[in-house]
Amino acid sequence: MNDKPKRIKRAISGWVVLDKPYDMTSTQAVGKVRWLFSAAKAGHAGTLDPLATGILPIALGEATKAVPQVQDGTKIYRFAIKWGSATTTDDAEGEVVSTSDIRPERAALEAVLPAFTGTIMQRPPIYSALKVDGERAYDLARAGEAVDLPPRAIDVDAIELIEHGGEQSVLEVTCGKGTYVRSLARDIAEALGTRGHVSVLHRAAVGPFHDQDALTIDRLEALSLEERDALLKPVAAGFAGLPEIRLDAQQANAVRHGNAVLLTGAGSPVSLDECWVSFRGEVLATGWVEFGQFKCRRVFN
């Protein structure tokens, strides 16, 4: 008979900016953090491959409602391309499918990078979570089925060469939602007449969250529950960069019930595509402003 007391789940809300360790899935990382905080609800803002490290924003409680805003934010990745071999997965996890003796010169690599900035078309890796006829592409690929993923438009703000060597080069890319760094590495290699795959991948930023904000699982495990709570970022941290509108008590009460409110006072916006409203520092809702009225998209408790 197991007399161990049942762990009580808490209605706690906020962000844990996790430095996800190598060889752990994003789902495993969320489960571990949820357990460490005894949180009733948890989710993450943007999957990281198991072999990747770095920023995995984990939302607890009400912060899960802000996941779309964080997920849509700009991302920064630092990655290494290993020259001379292409793999099934476009990273070190896959089997080598083709090789090349060509090792690009630094000048040649720098010359092709501008072609990979701006809005470009990218073919996602077949080992990805994208769905094909309701099935995950990676499940079909592992089952040996042919997977055809059409190219998609992605936004790459900047790409910079950090280190260059004969066998691998390190780059940093600033990009938008939906960018696959594995595809970027594959395509850069092909543009240089060789083959390549990602050998190291680290995500340094997601939206408002950066490396300097990150906590390791080891650090969290070493703390008491109260100390962990003190490190939680507020729900509103997910909205950094979005316009905030502060409401009075009467407006706040209306928004809590999902009602639209007329914004009054000097400087009140007439039109906004996306914003959030607060009362005494607490997040009330996300939404938009139309004809001077704030309209709710998601209401927070």
CA–CA dist 283, 300 (Å, integer): 7
Both tokens assigned to 20 = 């996800």
Rounded to whole angstroms, the Cα distance separating 116 from 126 reads: 20
Neighbours of 129 (CB within 10 A): 12
- Cα-Cα-Cα-Cα dihedral of 12, 16, 22, 25, to 10°? 40
Report d(CA 29, CA 182) in Å as an integer: 21
Q: Which residues of 135-169 are buried (b: 16+ CB within 10 A; e: fewer)?
A: eebbebbeeeeebebeeeebebeebeeeeeeeebb
CA 30, 132, 41: angle at the middle one, nearest 5? 20
Backbone dihedral angles phi then psi of residue 239, each to the nearest 5 degrees: -105, 10
**Annotated active-site residue in 3, 19, 23, 49:** 49
Short-list 286, 244, 285, 283, CA closest to 267:
244
Question: What is the secondary structure of 228-244 as a DSSP string?
Answer: HHHHPBPGGGGGTTS-E
Which residue, chain included where needed, has tokens 């507020």?
A: 234
Rounded distance between C-alpha atoms, residue 197 and residue 96, angstroms = 9
Q: Is 213 a catalytic residue?
A: no
- Which are the catalytic amino acids? 49
